[in-house]
Amino acid sequence: MKIKVKLLFAVILAIPLYLTFLALQTDIAQAIDEHEADHKLMESSPEHETYEVKVPESKLAEVKALKNAVASNNNTLSEAKAVYGGKGTCFNCHGEKGKGDGELASSFDPRPRNFTMPAWQKLRTDGEIFYVITNGTDHGMPGFGDMLSDEEKWSLVNYIRDFGKHSGLASKK
Ligand code: HEC
Whether residue 133 contacts residue 144, with contact meaning beta carbons closer than 8 Å, is answered with: yes
Segment 107-152, tens digit of pLDDT: 999 999 999 999 999 999 999 999 999 999 999 999 999 999 999 9
Nearest CA to ligand 1 atom 32: 133
> What is the Cα–Cα distance from 160 to 121, expressed in whole angstroms?
9
Whether residue 94 contacts residue 100, with contact meaning beta carbons closer than 8 Å, is answered with: yes
Q: Is the C-beta atom of 139 inside 6 A of ligand 1? A: yes
Terminal alpha carbon distance of the chain: 93
Residue 89 CA, closest ligand 1 atom number? 5
3-state secondary structure of 121: helix
Locate the domains of the chain by residue range. Answer: 2-44, 54-164
Among candidate residues 166, 167, 136, the one with its CA nearest the CA of residue 153: 136
* Superfamily, domain 54-164: Cytochrome c-like domain (1.10.760.10)
Q: Cβ atoms within 10 A of the Cβ of 130, count?
A: 22
Nearest CA to ligand 1 atom 8: 141
> What's this model's pTM, rounded to 2 decimal places?
0.77
